[in-house]
A = this chain, B = another copy of it.
Amino acid sequence: MIDIVILGAGNVASHFIHAFSQSQDINISQIYNHRPESLRDFSDFETTKEIDKIKTAEVYLVCIKDDKVQKIVQSINQPQAIIAHTSGSLPLLKTSNRDAVFYPLQTFSKDKTISFKDLPICLETEYESDFKVLKKLVHALGAKPYAVSTIQRQELHLAAVFVCNFVNHLYHIGHEICAQKNLPFDILKPLIKETADKINFKTPNQAQTGPAIRHDQTTINRHIQQLDNPNYQEIYRYLTNSIQKSNE
> Interface on A for B, CB 8 Å cutoff?
66-67, 89, 105-109, 111-112, 114, 118-120, 122, 146, 148, 151-152, 154-175, 177-178, 180-183, 185, 187-196, 198-213, 216, 218-219, 222-223, 226-227, 231-232, 234-236, 238-239, 241-243, 245-246
Contact = CB atoms under 8 A, between A and B. Distances in A.
Nearest to A223: B158
Contacts of A239: 166, 169, 235
A107 B195 contact: yes
B200 A169 contact: no
Nearest to A220: B161
A196 to B, nearest CB: 4
Nearest to A203: B175
A91 to B, nearest CB: 11
A187 B120 contact: yes
A103 to B, nearest CB: 11
A193 to B, nearest CB: 6
A67 B89 CA distance: 49
Given A155-B177, A182-B152, A204-B172, A120 B167 contact: no
A104 to B, nearest CB: 10
B154 A163 contact: no
Given A112-B202, A161-B212, 6 more contacts: A109-B198, A112-B201, A162-B171, A172-B204, A189-B199, A231-B238
Contacts of A206: 109
- Give this chain's copy count: 2
A111 B158 CA distance: 31
A163 B173 CA distance: 8
A242 B58 CA distance: 44
B109 A164 contact: no
Contacts of A152: 181-183
Contact of A188 (B160, B205, B231): B160
Which of the listed residues A111, A160, A161 has the most CB atoms from chain B within 10 Å of its own CB? A161
Nearest to A112: B201
Given A192-B199, A200-B189, A219-B66, A156 B178 contact: yes
Which of the listed residues A158, A189, A202, A246 has the most CB atoms from chain B within 10 Å of its own CB? A158
Given A172-B208, A200-B189, A222 B154 contact: yes
